[in-house]
Amino acid sequence: MADRILVTGGAGFIGRHLCRELLSRGSEVRVFDALIEQVHPGGERPGDLPSDVELIEGDVRDGDAVARALKGADHVVHLAAEVGVGQSMYEVERYTSTNDLGTAVLMERLIDNPVQRIVTASSMSIYGEGLYRDRQGNLIEDAARGVLRDGQSSWNPVDGDGQPLTPVATPEWKQPNLSSVYALNKYVQERMTQIMAAPYGIESTCLRLFNVYGPGQALSNPYTGVLAIFAARLLNGQPPLIYEDGEQRRDFVHVSDVAHAFADALEHPAAAGGTFNVGSGEDRSVSDVARSLAQAMGRNNVEAEIVGKARTGDIRHCYCDVTLARDVLGFEARQDFGEGLADLAEWLSGQTAEDRAERARGELEARGLVA
């Protein structure tokens, strides 16, 4: 008999790709999703959610609805979350309620409806600044930038003598440095999963996702992944907005690789009890990524707008050390970035998007969250 897997938040970007991957492996899939307007305009079932997937609409904070969704499930993938660093800094109650209380409700209902394993989506955001090295070769886990000011000459963290630090790939052992409400939420989700699962005989795994991109992302949501936000601007003939100077470095991993990682984490015996980074292991500047996307979309004449200001909660550099996931789970990102952008651009050619980036920028500036 096939395993039945419940995916909370499974109608979202990552969830839909994961559902297809799980179905291809012979699993039965049930999705529990609130279909919120910011992600799903009109609150309708996404057209690319496979018809073989059972969809239960409900809020993860509703214990009765969660209990119904858990009936008969063998495993859970917990993706349900409000997502967005900037928005989390002023919609604090909404983010904390959905992300932290919602996870608490899920874990409590699992007491009476236990499953074999739960895999929870965590985030690179919990690291804050990534790992750095100083001039003496010492690793620095608590790099900070201090007060950011409009138009400053350097956005990079420095040591106690004011000398620049060099970013290096960030491993799982790097201490958390929670610089946004969203980061705090994701850390709570991660720790709550690990604390609550074992006493009730449930295996748990947490995956810390880096910058996920690919077809199917919510283009009109200005707090989603940066490539989707850039794409919405480009589709509307507008330049991507890049904060600071555009030289901040990130790790972009294709959603198909992320779907494989979740599916493998459900199956691999060594995943139980572990927390793993999921990224490509390659770092790129945000400016380079914006330029590459514009070229892939045939918008070669569109130059990004460098804002020259920083948002509260943003970090300078953080990219992925994939050693642990590779050595323990056999995970390796398969999608070449250039080919992944071409795949994204092909999908974008048939899409329209409402560009809300300027509105989001205005909301942040009105609250003093852009410096």
> Residue 71: phi, psi to the nearest 5?
-55, 120
Residue 354: its pLDDT value, please? 78
Spatial distance between the Cα atoms of 27 and 207, rounded to a whole number of angstroms: 20
| pLDDT: which is higher, 292 or 313 | 292
Q: Which of 33-47, 128-142, 146-160 is predicted with the least confidence, judged by mean pLDDT?
A: 146-160
What's the pLDDT tens digit per position in 2-47? 799 999 999 999 999 999 999 999 999 999 999 988 888 878 898 8
For residue 164, list its beta bridge partners: 158
Residue 148: its pLDDT value, please? 63
Structure-block tokens of residue 27:
């699993």
Average pLDDT over residues 92-121: 98
Residue 273: its pLDDT value, please? 96
What's the pLDDT tens digit per position in 343-362? 999 999 988 877 776 776 77
pLDDT exceeds cutoff 90 at 193: yes
Cα-based torsion angle of the residue sequence 224, 120, 281, 221 in order, rounded to the nearest 10 degrees: 0
Average pLDDT over residues 238-256: 94
126 confidence band (pLDDT: 50, 70, 90): very high
Residue 151: its pLDDT value, please? 58
Average pLDDT over residues 109-121: 97
Average pLDDT, the chain: 92
Residue 301: its pLDDT value, please? 86
pLDDT exceeds cutoff 90 at 82: yes
Residue 150: its pLDDT value, please? 60
pLDDT exceeds cutoff 80 at 152: no
Residue 70: its pLDDT value, please? 98
pLDDT exceeds cutoff 70 at 122: yes
| pLDDT: which is higher, 216 or 42 | 216
226 confidence band (pLDDT: 50, 70, 90): confident
299 confidence band (pLDDT: 50, 70, 90): very high
pLDDT exceeds cutoff 70 at 153: no
Domains and CATH numbers, the chain: 4-366 (3.40.50.720)
Can you give the chain as a three-state secondary structure string? Answer: CCCEEEEECCCCHHHHHHHHHHHHCCCEEEEEECCCCCCCHHHCCCCCCCCCCEEEECCCCCHHHHHHHHCCCCEEEECCCCCCHHHHCCCHHHHHHHHHHHHHHHHHHHHHCCCCEEEEEEEHHHHCCCCEECCCCCEECCCCCCCCCCCCCCCCCECCCCCECEECCECCCCCCCCCCHHHHHHHHHHHHHHHHHHHHCCEEEEEEECEEECCCCCCCCCCCCHHHHHHHHHHCCCCCEECCCCCCEECEEEHHHHHHHHHHHHHCHHHCCCEEEECCCCCEEHHHHHHHHHHHCCCCCCCCEECCCCECCCCCECCECCHHHHHHHCCCCCCCHHHHHHHHHHHHCCCCCCCCHHHHHHHHHHCCCEC
Average pLDDT over residues 205-232: 89
163 confidence band (pLDDT: 50, 70, 90): confident
> Residue 165: phi, psi to the nearest 5?
-100, 150
What's the pLDDT tens digit per position in 255-289? 999 999 999 999 999 999 999 999 999 999 999 99
pLDDT exceeds cutoff 80 at 229: yes
Q: What is the percentage of the chain residues whose pLDDT exceeds 90?
A: 76
Residue 219: its pLDDT value, please? 81
Spatial distance between the Cα atoms of 209 and 17, rounded to a whole number of angstroms: 15
Residue 370: its pLDDT value, please? 79
Average pLDDT over residues 336-342: 96
